[in-house]
Each structure stands twice: as structure tokens, then as C-alpha cells.
Structure 1
Amino acid sequence: MVSVVLEVTCSLLVWLCLYACFCYWNQHQSYEWSCRLVTLLHGVVVTCLSGYVALLDGPWPLTHAGSPNTPLQIHVLSLTLGYFIFDLGWCLYFQTEGDLMLFHHTLSICGMIMVLGLGKSATEVNAIVFVSEITNPLLQTRWFLREMGRYYTSLGEVVDFFFVFLFLVLRIGGGALILYAMVTSPDPSWLLKAGGLAMYMVSLGFMVEICRFIRRKMLKKYHSWTSRRSTNAPVETNGRLAAR
């Protein structure tokens, strides 16, 4: 357990140092810019690592929920836990996030601490990290595109599409399968099962926000299309097309 605490502490220090370096290199940008660079880097690294553990290294989370932690799973969760502690502290200090995101971070931290302390169930928690973090790089890319004035382009449309698609398929669909495996398996702790259910409720809360975003975007596109159509429509005068 001492080695795990040391690993998590080193992870926290690494993310803090990266943030400090980004702030130094981007002095003309806001603190949020540097923090989101750290978030983007974490999302890419942890998605690759947790995906490798869940899909290749094993054990398979849908059939081995509650199994003992492997060394690689411990390393990945320690790295992620250090980041979440950093990000929660940053969000509380700058007060940039709402209650739902703060609740998500708190649940994530508590779940990873419990799994690392118990020495089991890292299989399913690592899978949850994978389906949760895979959309994070796209979310940060979307923010950077907005800041650079390039969001309302074809690239912004592609980023939005893949973000929504991956969120619904992996975080909602895949998350439901992982939650079912956790709840039906006798091995995971009941407290961890309750935490997994709470995390899924948070994901559903995010899904509601995404559905509202999609609705606003589709209505905006529809109004833009109808406006262009009415502008380009030929004007009739006394039954004849008006000259243009």
C-alpha cells in the first residue's frame, strides 16, 4: 500500500509540474488554457493505457469483475488518481465547474482509492476509466477550437460528431454493460457497486446536457437553412418572377 501511495503522489507531482510548465510556456494564455492542455494530455495517455489493459492485457471486465488487481492496472489507476486529485483541486480553486462535474471527480477519486486499497476490482474500474476518458480529448479539442475561432468549421463539426457518437456508444452503452457485470457479479464490494451506479447516473446527467446541445444545434441549423431558402427563393410579382 505504501508503494501505491508513493505512485499516486508522484503522479500528482507530475501533473502539477506539467501544469506549471504549460503556464510558463503559455504566459499569454489563461490558466484554463494550460489546465486543459494537461487534461488533453491525460485523456490521450490514459485512454491508450486503459484501453490496452481492458481490451488486450486483461482480464476481460465483463466476465472477471471483482478479480485481483494486476500490476499494470495499479499503475494506470495510480496515474489517473493523481490527475483527478490535481484537477479537482484546480476546479475548486478557480470555481470553473458545476456541481455535476465536481460530483463526478469526487466519485472517481473515491472509487479509485477504494479499489487500490482493497486490491481488487481494478478490472471493471479501469474499463470505466476507458469508456469515460475516450471522449475527453475530443471535448478539450472542441474547447481549443472555440478559443482559436475555428469551432464553426468542418473540423468543429467532425469533432462534435465523434464526441457525441463515442459518448453514446461507449460511455452510455459500454458503461451499461460494465455496470451490469459489476452488479451481477458476487465479487465486487457492495459499496463499489453503489459507486458504479452513481457514476452511471452522472453519465446520464451528462447525456441530458448533450441531448440539449444537439437539440439547440439542430434547431440552429434548421433556422439557418430556412433563412437561406427564403432568401434565395424567387420573388413573384403579379404572377411573374421578379427580375433580379
Structure 2
Amino acid sequence: MEEQVTNVIVGGVVSWTVVFLVMRKSFPKRSFEFCNRTVSTLHATLAVILASLSVQDWMSPISPLASKPSPLQARALAATLSYLIYDLLCCLFDKRVSVDNVIHHLVSITGISAGLVYQKCGSELVAALWITELSSPFLHMRELLKELGYRDTDLNLAADIAFAIIFSIARMVGGPYLTFKTLSADNPFVIKVMAVALQLVSAFWFYKIARMVKYKLTKRTTSKKTA
């Protein structure tokens, strides 16, 4: 299975890069970020599907704890690992480098790699993948809509609110529970450290999202009063 995982990772990095280059060639007027976010949306959708298909028991989705990744789980994790490597490299070529995003990528890459190398934590990592990617399509939709000319519209506000709600429930309710389970189980120390680090990054982003939503709603209320 190790060779298959390696093939998925290498093939995935190449595939995501090719999709990005095709986007850049097909839509030359669109920005670097627009094309990258389109690829990211495709990955998020694929990641949630693969993670969902790899759950062994939906009555207890993170069981068995500290277990060897099943072939389906390994495939889901390898596909996301390939995307994270591509996206990290892609972000470094962008003009705007987000430090917190780079940290998130490094933490995720380290955690998934450790799970695949140690052959542990399959259920927890897939659950983390599902939780973290569930809100991603709405995250990218917010920015894509702005470039398509829908900034400050009801549609863009709906995407903002949907993203904020899904992110908050997934990362600030499901995330702490999953982190606790990962720390309680017999997982390698590096995975436990990465689980805590990922939750800290999520908490920081939650703070930023709360400020964003407050600003958007205040701005919308003020605009209506002055209209």
C-alpha cells in the first residue's frame, strides 16, 4: 500500500498543478488567486467525498481510534497531502503570502505524513480532513464571487454567513472533540502535537471570521439606514 500511496501523492501534485495551469491558460484575464481558489474548491469537494466514503462506521465515525488507515482512508489522506504540497508551493509564488495559512499547511502536511508513515490515526485524520474541508468551498466561493463582480451583494453575504456558520460548528464544536479523542488515544506524539496546533490555528481563524461577520453585518445595517 505504501507504493500506491506514494503514487497518489506524486500523481496528485502533478495533477493539481496541471489543472491550475489549464485554468491560467483558459482564463488569462482571471487572477492567480482566482485560478488557485478554483483548484482548491475542486479539492475540497473531492476531499469531503473521499473522506465520507472512507468512514468505516457512521454510527461511530472516528472509530477505531489510533488504527491503521484503511486503503480508502490512505487514498483520501494521500490525495489531500498532494493538494497541500501543491497549494503550499503555489502560495509561495503568489504576491500575498499568508503566514497563518502557511502554518496551517505545514501542520496539516506533517500530521497526515506522520499518520501515513506510522500507519496510525487513520480514523482521526480522516475525520479531521472532513471537518476542515467542509467549509472550504464556501470560503473560496466568497473570494470567487468578488472577482466575478458580486462584491457587497446579498449572494456574497450569504456565502460569508454560510462559511462562518459551517466553519464555526465544524471547527469549534467538532474540532475540540476530535482533538480530545486524538490526544486520549494511543497516537504518536507528533500527531498529538499537530492536532493541538491545528485546533489553535482554527481558533485564530474563528476569531478573524467573527470579526469579519460583525463588520459585514454592521456595514450592511449602516448602509440601509443611510439609504
Partner of 1:227: 226
Partner of 1:83: 83
DSSP-derived class of the 1:147 partner: helix
CA distance in 1, matches of 2:163, 2:113: 28
Residue identity over aligned pairs, in percent, reads 25
Tell me whether 45-54 or 172-181 shows the greater mean CA deviation: 45-54
Superposed CA RMSD in Å reads 1.8
- Write the distance in 1 (CA, Å) between the matches of 2:100 and 2:85: 16
- Return the offset for 1:6: 2.1
Contact 2:16 2:83 in 1 (8 A): yes
Give 2:87's aligned amino acid.
D
Please give the alpha-carbon distance, in whole angstroms, between the structure 1 residues aligned to 2:107 and 2:59: 24
TM-score (norm 2): 0.93
Structure 2 unpaired stretches of 5+:
none
Q: CA deviation at 1:101?
A: 0.6
Q: CA deviation at 1:191?
A: 1.7
> Could you give the per-residue CA deviations for residues 86-115 of structure 1, whole angstroms, max 9, x where no partner exists?
000011122423111100001111111111
8 Å Cα contact 1:54/1:123 also seen in 2: yes
Per-residue deviation, 1:122: 1.8
- 1:149 counterpart SS class: helix
State the distance in 2 between where 1:54 and 1:146 align.
35
Partner of 1:242: none
Measure how far apart 1:58 and its partner are: 8.7
The one-letter code of the counterpart of 1:177 is Y
Q: Which amino acid aligns with 1:181?
A: K
| 1:24 to partner: Cα distance | 1.4
- Residue 11 of structure 1: how far off its partner (Å): 0.9
Shift in Å, 1:137: 0.6
1:162-188 Cα shifts (integer Å, max 9, x gaps):
111101111211111111111122x21
Letter in 1 for 2:208: E
- Aligned partners of 2:153, 2:214: CA distance in 1, in Å? 19
Give me the whole-angstrom Cα distance separating, in 1, the residues matched to 2:69 and 2:169: 27
User: For residue 176 of structure 2, what is the aligned residue in structure 1?
Assistant: 176
Q: Secondary structure at the match of 1:22?
A: helix
Q: Which residue of 2 aligns with 1:194?
A: 193
Q: Does residue 35 of the first structure (1) align with residue 56 of the second (2)?
A: no
Q: Are positions 1:15 and 2:20 aligned together?
A: no
Report the TM-score when normalising by structure 1.
Answer: 0.87
Is residue 164–residue 210 contact of structure 2 (8 Å, CA) maintained in 1? no
Alignment of 1:63-102 (within 5 A): 63-102=63-102
Q: Deviations over 1:194-218 (max 9, x none)?
A: 1100100000010111011122123
The offset of 1:65, in angstroms, is: 2.1
Preserved CA contact (<8 Å) 1:59 1:123: no
- For residues 56 and 161 of structure 1, do their structure 2 counterparts lie closer, same or farther at Cα, with a shift above 3 Å needed? farther
**Structure 1: stretches of 5+ with no match in the other structure:** 229-244
